[in-house]
Amino acid sequence: MPKRPTPRGEHLRRALAQEAARVMAEHGIEDYGLAKRKAAQRFALADGAVLPKNSEIEAALLEYQRLFGPVAHAESLRAQRRAALAAMRRLREFEPRLVGGVLSGTATRHSPVQLHLFADCAESVALKLIDAGVAYEVIEKRARIDPARVRAYPGLRFQIGDQPIEATVFPEDGIRQAPFSPVDGRPMRRAGASEVEAMLGAVPAEALNA
């Protein structure tokens, strides 16, 4: 049976989660592992056993955003979701899904909008952006499709207004199996355009310059 943490250990885990959340919120760090390491350095901690889980950091990040600048966070999140919906409408033929912090509500003002697209050829997405006059950068995104394997997928980075978008392009049949979340290890939650519309109160397409 695993040894239960001492009250001091529990307190330290909470403090580390809160510090990691602060680092993510204030410095735009998206990587939970990097945020943990920075928090551990702040506490001069060498024992990795006490480090918080990613889900604990996510909860601390939500609490941080609730306590510090909740109005600004809500406005930033709404702008990110508006940009997500505009991009999803523009790329509707690739069955886009919103994922990550912009969907869960933990995104900071630095966070890119993360989309999953589905096409057997990533170049078809690029051509769609070219036709729309949208500049883009080719990137590589990594996703865990089963507990033992991480795969690289093609991606594109572009902007809608001043909001950065990062789109990962999966094969068409990838829509049936979501990658595992880096937060809790479960299949990632994905939201289609109709769900994002509901979050925004059904913003008209013309208002999004789609």
Looking at per-residue confidence, does 46 or 81 come out higher?
Answer: 81
Cα distances from 189 to residues 20, 23, 37, 88, 116, in angstroms, run: 23, 24, 26, 16, 11
CATH architecture of the domain with residue range 71-208? 2-Layer Sandwich (3.30)
How far, in Å, CA of 61 to CA of 51, rounded?
A: 15
> What 3-state class would DSSP assign to 168?
strand
Region 8-33 average pLDDT: 88
Band of pLDDT at residue 8, cut at 50, 70 and 90: low
Predicted TM-score (pTM) of this structure? 0.84
Tell me, what's the pLDDT at 205? Answer: 46
pLDDT at 16 over 80: yes
- At residue 164, what is the residue type? P
Tell me, what's the pLDDT at 45? Answer: 80
Band of pLDDT at residue 11, cut at 50, 70 and 90: confident
Domain residue spans of the chain = 7-67, 71-208
Region 64-84 average pLDDT: 93
Looking at per-residue confidence, does 82 or 203 come out higher?
Answer: 82
pLDDT at 20 over 60: yes
